[in-house]
Amino acid sequence: MLAAQRPPGKAQAGRWEFPGGKIEAGETAATALIREIREELGCDLRVGAPLTPVDHPYPGGVIRLHPFLAEIIAGQPEPHEHTALRWVDSKTAATLEWAPADLPVLAELWSRPAPTRNN
């Protein structure tokens, strides 16, 4: 999975998160993810199965995450808005300091069977 480190000066600076962002008027969660990944990482993706939405309270209010499984279909991710990007497995992900809102997403991913590839 791809983890992105939040930059200095932003809320949760230095913590890791799944890339994505805010849904704009007229967008679905899936189309917002496609746009945000293009803006934040400079690549295109195919949105797959949705995961369980997460509501998490922060001092500025409650945020709602709409996580999806997704696959990069064009380009290589580059950190346009993050300090760093890392491809991590579950063992490495467990060693990172994640933004609290992303922890339920991690728990759901870890509870799923590992994907298989038919290459």
- Asked if the model's pLDDT at residue 70 lies above 70, the reply is yes
C-alpha–C-alpha distance, residues 109 and 115, integer Å: 11
116 vs 119: CA distance, rounded Å: 9
Question: pTM to 2 decimals?
Answer: 0.88
Query: What phi, psi does 47 have (nearest 5°)?
Result: -80, 130
Q: Is the pLDDT of residue 48 over 60?
A: yes
2-111: CATH number: 3.90.79.10
Distance CA 110, CA 27 (A): 29
pLDDT exceeds 60 at position 66: yes
For residue 60, pLDDT beyond 90: no
Distance CA 31, CA 119 (A): 28
Q: Tell whether the model's pLDDT for residue 45 goes beyond 60.
A: yes
| pLDDT bucket at 34, cuts 50 / 70 / 90 | very high
Could you tell me the pLDDT band of residue 82, with boundaries at 50, 70 and 90?
Answer: very high
The two most distant CA atoms of the chain are separated, in Å, by 46
The beta strand positions in the chain, using DSSP E, are 2-5, 16-17, 44-50, 54-58, 61-65, 68-74, 84-87
* pLDDT for res 59: 86
Q: Domains of the chain: which residue ranges?
A: 2-111
State how far the Cα of 13 lies from the Cα of 8, in Å rounded to an integer.
5
pLDDT at 115: 58
Q: What is the pLDDT of residue 117?
A: 52
Answer whether residue 6 shows pLDDT above 90.
yes
Q: What percent of the chain has pLDDT over 70?
A: 95
Task: Give the CA dihedral 99, 27, 48, 19, nearest 10 degrees.
Answer: -30
